[in-house]
Amino acid sequence: MKYAIKMTGPVQQVLRALLADPAAPRYGLEVSKLTGLETGTLYPVMARLEAVGWVDSSWEDPELGVREGRPRRRYYQLTRDGAEQARAALAEISRIRDKRRATLSAAQPGVLGAPL
């Protein structure tokens, strides 16, 4: 399978977290908390997702921050196209995983059967 972005574990984690509520803009530390990914992993993933157009980022209205006494945040959001492709990619990956699991347990029922 060929996707616009290499579907590494962290990429999948980020996409799952964002797809939980695709319309919600999230700032970096928020995604870090949602996924449990450290920021050193997270920011490069976000930059890659942005580079391929799956995610958009923009500054929030500074007025909001002024009221809360903090600077404006950079918010990330799935693009419509990105959400679609991410859903398709994640579905395909779990299909493949299921199939592989089924094949393995069918081939070696006694050894690797259930717990995989």
Partner 1 sequence: MTGVLSGRAQPGPLQADLLAGLRGILQAIRPDADLRLIRRAYDVAAAWHDGQTRFSGDPYITHPLAVAAILAGLGASDQALCAALLHDTTALTAYTFAELNREFGTEITGLVAGIAALDQITHQGSSTTAQAIAAATAADPRVLAIKIADRLHNMRTVEFLPPDKQLQKAAQARDVFVPAARLLRLGTVESELAALASTTLSRNRYARTASGHLLTAMAALLPPATQARWREEWLGELHTLPARRSRARFAAHTLLGVPRLAVTLRRPAPGHRQARP
Pair of tokens at residue 89: 């990619």
Strands 55-59 and 26-27: unpaired
Helices of type H across 52-114: 62-68, 80-107, 109-112
Residue of 53, 42, 32, 57 lying closest to 8 (CA atoms): 42
Residue of 75, 77, 90 lying closest to 11 (CA atoms): 90
The residue range among 2-10, 17-25, 94-102, 108-116 that interacts with partner 1, by the rule CB under 8 A, is 2-10
Per CB under 8 A, does 94 bind partner 1? Answer: no
Residue (39 or 108) nearer to partner 1, CB = 39
Q: Please give the residues from 34 up to 93 whose contact with partner 1 meets the rule CB under 8 A.
A: 38-44, 47-48, 51-53, 62-63, 65-66, 69-74, 81, 85, 88-89, 92
CB 77 within 8 A of CB 56: yes
CB of 65 to partner 1, least distance (A): 7
Residues in contact with partner 1 by CB under 8 A are 1-4, 27-29, 38-44, 47-48, 51-53, 62-63, 65-66, 69-74, 81, 85, 88-89, 92
